[in-house]
Structure 1
């Protein structure tokens, strides 16, 4: 069973392993989400490049805009693959491309991302820290539901980490979603595991100790897995409180 990461380095390693496992299992549309306040995506994305390069597939990297792509080309040095903004004229899918990495696409680019993913067909596509769910959340009625069904629901989350106040959500493929809570003993304890991502009222019920239909176990039935409280999550939760209060 995956444990809470002790620092950002171990979180990246977990994400890499989970994504490799998901790709090896035949999954073709994946999301990696490090849902951490104030996270700078450029150095994080660079840390993932060796994993994709080692797959020995022809890679193509997309940023939301040409400026970010140009900055990456400058900072990362020469790469044997193209790094483009999604709206650039050269940002098209080529027949010999084999793997596509979209870095932090937002709801603004959702139609472009969908179009490029459709062109990619059954070739692997990975979204790193996507910000696409907002548009499905704010979409009114049928339009929002249609977008989620047509595009967002075609992806699975290979890795997810989100610190909360006195809790954390973790998922590393193929393990289920986990909710960890801070205890009174300077540690974190696994509260529950479930098939689907805990959100909204369901997450509130989990954190309050109320069982939900999706849970694979209740606090009394889950083995008492514990993780030491560490500076990494403590600092993230301090930042979380500063940003939300």
Structure 2
């Protein structure tokens, strides 16, 4: 039929989620599938500043997203994962933010919510204010000093944690994540949320590079592709499906046009993008013209 001559949708390629709700559903399904296959090191990445609408929103801000909105997006994603893993028990779920302030904000917002039960911690912890110690006796002062040293010393994961969620750790924090992974073994699930591993060029050591680029499985990824290689394109993967490169046309949802079993390199993204010289409709017309020309021979 003539109408189908211009239908160039590639049904064999995995499609991108049409909205946040579908993306969250696909992320849950991918995570469950990874758990079935006993994957204990997972990497999850959503677009920067995604609004999950978990927290009650105030007035919509104009202009580019603010730092607070970025942090809120990360916190909402963490909240979704905490709820997902509630069956193991809140006391066995650790949610680890980078800074004390972020952890305190989560504690405040999640307080009293049974579905958000978890142990909320911070990697970079400041010392508590030393107030009111003049009235303490020597023994109490010593105990207070020891408590301060414990709270601000090297980060350690509490005992009996089965799920450790690290929220947007940077290169410095990944050093701690590596140590935690080595300490707890595969019996503890370690999940990186919005770490942006693809943007990190130096992990500090060969062992760390292997851990974060090979051992950690990209269970769900939906983010901008390298823009210098594939402008205005998205990179997507939902475990155990392939990686796909997609382009957002002027009208309609993103359309996939590249596929790999492993995360594509910068060169692969660039090469695939450069091969996309014509729009989908133009490519369909070109194919029709070629077919007609062959019929006339």
Q: Aligned partners of 2:124, 2:180: CA distance in 1, in Å?
A: 10
In 2, distance between residues paired with 1:69 and 1:117? 21
Secondary structure of 1:30's counterpart equals strand
Point out where structure 1 has 5 or more consecutive residues left out of the alignment.
211-218, 221-245
TM-score (norm 2): 0.62
Pair 1:47 & 2:80 matched: yes
Alpha carbons 1:107, 1:131 under 8 Å: kept = no
Q: Which runs of 5+ in 2 are unaligned?
A: 1-12, 50-64, 126-149, 226-230, 277-282, 285-297
Q: Deviations over 1:16-70 (max 9, x none)?
A: 2111210121101000011335543122322332112145582111111222111
Aligned-pair Cα RMSD in Å: 2.7
Tell me which of 38, 44, 64 is aligned to 1:26.
38
Q: Quote the Cα distance in structure 2 between the aligned partners of 1:109 and 1:132.
A: 12
Is residue 192 of structure 2 the alignment partner of residue 158 of structure 1?
A: no
- Aligned positions of 1:202-241 closer than 5 A: 202-209=268-275
Structure 1 match to 2:175: 111
Supply the distance in 1 between the matched residues of 2:194 and 2:170 (Cα, whole angstroms): 9
Q: Verify the 8 A CA contact 1:86 1:113 in the aligned structure 2.
A: no
More helix by share: 2
**TM-score scaled by structure 1?**
0.74
- The 1-side partners of 2:216 and 2:202 are apart by 19
Q: Cα deviation per residue 1:102-141 (whole Å; 9 max; x = unaligned)?
A: 1111112121111122222112111111145544x146xx
Q: Structure 2 CA distance, aligned partners of 1:132 and 1:206?
A: 22
Q: Kindly indicate which of the two structures has a greater share of residues assigned to strand.
A: 1
Distance 2:213 2:260 in 1: 20
Matched residue pairs, number?
Answer: 208
Considering Cα pairs closer than 8 Å and 6+ residues apart, tell me whether 1 or 2 has the greater RCO. Answer: 2
Note if contact 2:14-2:242 (Cα within 8 Å) is conserved in structure 1.
no
Larger Rg: 2
Which one of the candidate residues 79, 91, 94 is aligned to 1:60? 94
Q: Aligned equivalents of 2:262 and 2:33: distance in 1? A: 19
User: Judging changes above 3 Å, is the alpha-carbon distance between structure 1 residues 204 and 151 closer, same or farther for their aligned structure 2 residues?
Assistant: closer
